[in-house]
Structure 1
């Protein structure tokens, strides 16, 4: 397509739409009909330009014009509470649901590494000797591991845990811009840390304490980290294989989807942090603490499965609603 000729032919249409958008509050009936018609026509022009041209200025100009025209046609945005409800019933769960294969893969791979590392450490006194002196290991398994959950006030501890876990999740999301490769390192270090600690506790005959303190908050916490990693890996893979869409468009859409994941995980990690601060070190029986953790995990997975599957059936993708550069053509 000759883009210069295309611009020359359609420039009057774009200018007229621009005029109508500026005067949207004083349009008569015929002009409103013209606004709707031109909005649909220019939205189609935008689609053509995006698929045929690499001119970012032209794409940006038409994107802005179509977005403003859409706002004029559709009127005011929905109330904030509707946007809030939509995020938690559509945007976040469908983004998580659509990437379930990626975070399931991250979960299984991390679990395999953690179990292998734990078994190796637990069964090898030589490895244990490399990890620390007998006094250091004894301090860890008899005091430090359990004391970690109760040595600080619950409020400040919850804030610390939330910040730390949010940072790990943020790393997984941020590293997606590097094709997701560093995410594998983050997952590896996290799995080795859990596995080594578990192995040392098992070698000392304290597996019950380890799992009794890890499971209540760890199920939801690690699920959040794996979801962040899965979404980041999916975005990284999109750069390699964008599918039938242009690579720039695919990356933009998946990038906006990952924003939904990042925002949603802030709350998920807050919940896991509260469990870690209030439930894990509590005097409740071990079965009760584990039960709370399992219930929280089941609730989250059920939430993602129910709302995510429903949103997929409705054709939702998790893309940020009303994104200015993705406007449907009429």
Structure 2
């Protein structure tokens, strides 16, 4: 009887030995491709099954110990923690963030067009109908806005404190757009409030023949700042769109999860974008420089950002490759942009 068990065990080992050796190679490999990670997951699951079978059929101590070490090593390779790495930071800014922004271009471009159209209409209406400004903010407030308070806003606080306040405000606005995107309506409301504020302010300034002051102060930082808001709102609405009308090949939950993951990447990248916009608004907008130079600085920063996300984002695959991790015996997907 013992002879039969030995023969069966030898045959079992001979049959599966190539898979175990391949798993050992993958565990020891310094870097793995997406296909190799998939192979590692599959071999890990098979070897865990082999270990269970060996334990139940013939608990050979040496073989059980070998397979146990191999399963534990494979599991550690798949689930090990990720420490800080400048390489991952570089990959985030060169791949993850621009790809997430580029994939949402139709959404945030549509937001930008709608917002600018609405804001332009409000400016035109308020500028052409002085009574509307009186009804909206009052005659005295409109006069003060045009004469001093609009320009004074940019010099009211010390530049470093002002930059921090602007960064916090814009980051919070973007976070609201991303977090409330699945509900759609809150994002539209936030956009309307900002379009109304900008449109009425611009209309009042134009009606008082202060259009040069308005656009000279808003343009340097506004191009970059508003683009960040458009991106946040567009990605937020994309999450809502995934919930309302998911792609045919995805479940509603999976579609929202993938769109939400892109939202996380965008949120992290926008933190830096709004920091740059805040620095421009605090230090460049009120600076005693020629208007053309301040505007040129803002336009240069805006074009640099657009070039960055559109060029790098377009070079990446349409769908991010997924690596997999195993947690508690359950296979989960993880975006390669974090690797």
Q: Give the TM interval when normalised to the shorter protein.
A: 0.7 to 0.9
1:265 paired residue number: 270
When residues 263 and 308 of structure 1 are mapped into structure 2, their CA distance, relative to the original with a 3 A threshold, is same
1:109-136: CA deviation from partner (whole Å, max 9, x where unpaired): 0011101111111111221221233222
Measured after TM superposition, the shift of residue 74 of structure 1 is 9.4
CA contact (8 A) 1:256 1:320 kept: no
CA contact (8 A) 2:217 2:286 kept: yes
Match of 2:87 among 61, 79, 82: 82
Match of 2:300 among 295, 303, 321: 295
When residues 237 and 43 of structure 1 are mapped into structure 2, their CA distance, relative to the original with a 3 A threshold, is farther
Measured after TM superposition, the shift of residue 283 of structure 1 is 0.4
Question: Structure 1 residue 40 and structure 2 residue 42: aligned?
Answer: yes
How many equivalent pairs are there? 276
RMSD: 2.9
CA contact (8 A) 1:90 1:316 kept: no
Measured after TM superposition, the shift of residue 290 of structure 1 is 0.2
* Structure with greater Cα Rg: 2
More deviation in 76-85 or 255-264? 76-85
2:64 paired residue number: none
Measured after TM superposition, the shift of residue 265 of structure 1 is 0.2
1:15 paired residue number: none
1:286 paired residue number: 291
1:161 paired residue number: 166
Measured after TM superposition, the shift of residue 292 of structure 1 is 0.4
Question: Structure 1 residue 126 and structure 2 residue 126: aligned?
Answer: no
| Aligned mates of 2:246, 2:45 — CA distance in 1 | 23
SS of 1:326's equivalent? strand
Match of 1:72 among 66, 70, 77: 77
Question: Structure 1 residue 201 and structure 2 residue 205: aligned?
Answer: yes
Match of 1:176 among 172, 178, 181: 181
| Aligned mates of 1:171, 1:31 — CA distance in 2 | 45
When residues 34 and 159 of structure 1 are mapped into structure 2, their CA distance, relative to the original with a 3 A threshold, is closer
Measured after TM superposition, the shift of residue 207 of structure 1 is 0.1
2:223 paired residue number: 219
More deviation in 138-147 or 319-328? 319-328
Structure 1 stretches of 4+ with a deviation exceeding 4 A read 28-31, 33-38, 41-44, 68-71, 73-79, 319-324
1:270-309: CA deviation from partner (whole Å, max 9, x where unpaired): 0000000000000010000000000000000000011101
CA contact (8 A) 2:41 2:324 kept: no
| Aligned mates of 1:76, 1:232 — CA distance in 2 | 29
2:3 paired residue number: none
When residues 131 and 171 of structure 1 are mapped into structure 2, their CA distance, relative to the original with a 3 A threshold, is same
| Aligned mates of 1:108, 1:138 — CA distance in 2 | 30
More deviation in 165-174 or 239-248? 239-248
| Aligned mates of 1:263, 1:200 — CA distance in 2 | 36
CA contact (8 A) 2:122 2:203 kept: yes
| Aligned mates of 2:275, 2:83 — CA distance in 1 | 27
2:251 paired residue number: 246
CA contact (8 A) 1:260 1:320 kept: no
